[in-house]
Amino acid sequence: MTYVHETIVALQRSSPAQTEFYQAVEEILESLRAVLETEERYRRHAIIERIVEPERQIMFRVPWMDDHGNIHVNKGYRVEFNSALGPYKGGLRFHPNLNAGIIKFLGFEQVFKNALTGLPIGGGKGGANFDPKGRSDAEIMRFCQSFMNEMYRHVGPNTDVPAGDVGVGAREIGYLFGQYKRLTGRYEGVLTGKSLLWGGSLVRKEATGYGCVYFAQEMLANQGLELAGRDCLVSGGGNVAIYLIEKLYQCGARPLTCSDSTGTIHDPDGIKLETLKTLKEVEKVSLKNYVQRHVRAHFIPLDDYPEDGHAVWRIPGELAFPCATQNELTRADAEALVNNGCIAVSEGANMPSTPDAVDLLLDAKLLYGPGKAANAGGVATSQFEMAQNASMQRWTFEQVDTQLKAIMADIYARARDTAIKYEAPGNIVLGANIAGFTRVADAMIEQGLV
């Protein structure tokens, strides 16, 4: 039985029924074989056994009342995974399918993503199995206030600084912050993703999407290629996808697709950004309404998706940007991308490609930017917001965007150079995993057995 297999078996015993978490751990540990074989100190200090266990896991009930007087109870989570490099940092996700396994996978990935940025932040994740879709502002406010009634005990500007994620945008952050301030009497940077009116940072809502494009540019430039003029495939229709599409246009590329929980839009003339923003940020309706405004566009409902994957990845395009959810890009999807002439994949979502899809993309020599590297722009800009709050300053859009671009270039260079060091040139997955791991592991060793 291998070391990796032993670790997974032990996790299955101690943390049963957490499939996504096992997948994330196995992917990381497989990449670390070379460093674990050559660096005995990591084995001597039991770093692997320690790093796969969260420092703290918090689960709590969230009771709230809807507009009709009916009482509901949801489950809330905060997993504070690792603080070796700084305060826990990671988003809150509100989604009906959320469970402990997904939260732990997200928190585990966040540790290495945050380490790659080079910034002083640890990793964590949280949320609730609450569905904000179709709920009134008053219902969402009551839910957020109830959620914070427990969470406020565990967070703080130098302890744990949550942000938004799927289902948690500026509205939810506002309600959460207001309740934190009411409970503690303190006005401090305990949450990021805040409104610009009261402590938020410029570029924060754009950061994950912009950063993912910047990472793709770095991968292409390293091969002497350009982004301009290329057809791009994008999944998702939320914040990440919207601003990734915006940046693609700014770079001279043409995004052809987007998607949501109802289906996929393919617009051969290029996705109309203003229509997408109107549907998703203003009207908050399904993407199927897009075709009513643009007759050359085609809507592919979920029922018409291929059985073995996602409709987006079966459309010809040179670059792919998965921005929806975990495991959305299957091996069959990867085969379709390769056969259709795709040259690069840059992940805007967390772990959106299945392990066998990643293997195929790497074997086919596609440029591949894993989520923990390619989508780190969001958390990097969250740290910029923390810095602005701490110094009571407001940076300009250009200042933040320039720093974001520099961070993404540095992440790519660190992952690329680490892959070369361990004799796997071009394998950004291995490079990113080892670079993130060694920074966290070395800090853990220096801080003792805690």
The catalytic residues are 125
SS3 (DSSP) at 76:
strand
Distance, in Å, from the CA atom of 22 to the CA atom of 24, rounded to the nearest integer, reads 6
With beta carbons less than 8 A apart as the criterion, state whether 427 and 138 touch: no
User: For residue 64, which phi and psi values (nearest 5 degrees)?
Assistant: -155, 165
- Please state the φ and ψ torsions of residue 258, each to the nearest 5 degrees: -160, 170
CA–CA gap between residue 373 and residue 350 (Å, rounded): 10
Q: In what side-by-side order are the strands of the sheet with 123-128?
A: 56-65, 71-82, 123-128, 88-94, 160-164
Q: How far apart are CA 49 and CA 16, in angstroms?
A: 17
Contact indicator for 212, 407 with CB cutoff of 8 Å: no
In which element (H, E) is residue 438 found?
Answer: helix 428-446
Alpha helices in 120-169 (DSSP H): 137-151
Secondary structure (DSSP) of 424-435: -TT-HHHHHHHH
C-alpha 284/C-alpha 434 separation (Å) is 40
Distance in angstroms (rounded) separating the CA atoms of residues 98 and 76: 9
Report how far residue 360's alpha carbon sits from residue 345's, in angstroms, rounded to the nearest whole number.
12
What is d(CA 367, CA 371) in angstroms, rounded to the nearest whole number?
Answer: 13
Q: What angle do CA 68, 61, 147 make, to 5 degrees?
A: 75
- d(C-alpha 413, C-alpha 390), whole Å: 29
